Amino acid sequence: MEFKITDNYYHQFIITQEVYQQFQLCSNDRNPLHTNEDFAKSKGFTDKVMYGNILNAFVSFFIGECLPTKNVIIHSQEIAFKNPVYRAPLRIDF
């Protein structure tokens, strides 16, 4: 099946506390900006900062599982984290 750039696909991801913790376990990233509210606040943030690379995992799922063909692969990607995101739960719509 082929798809066109003008086609629309939609999927919603929910970052629950469990998703957050599982990402922390698999990445082994325990940077205190992500794990310690007091530390994050001491660095000028209002709370612990959400792992931005959780988004990368969702992009991978979306491309590999939500598009109508399995003949796809991510060759490159660029993500800019312009503002911090705080706390789960969080809903992301693709």
pLDDT, one tens digit per residue, over 57-90 is 888 888 888 888 888 888 888 888 899 988 766 7
pLDDT, residue 28, reads 96
Contact 91, 14 (CB under 8 A): yes
Mean pLDDT value across residues 18-28:
92
Q: Which amino acid is at 66?
A: C
pLDDT, residue 89, reads 67
Q: Answer whether residue 15 shows pLDDT above 80.
A: yes
Domain ranges of the chain: 12-93
Topology given in CATH for the domain delimited by 12-93: Thiol Ester Dehydrase; Chain A (3.10.129)
Q: CA-to-CA distance for 3 and 12, rounded, in angstroms?
A: 20
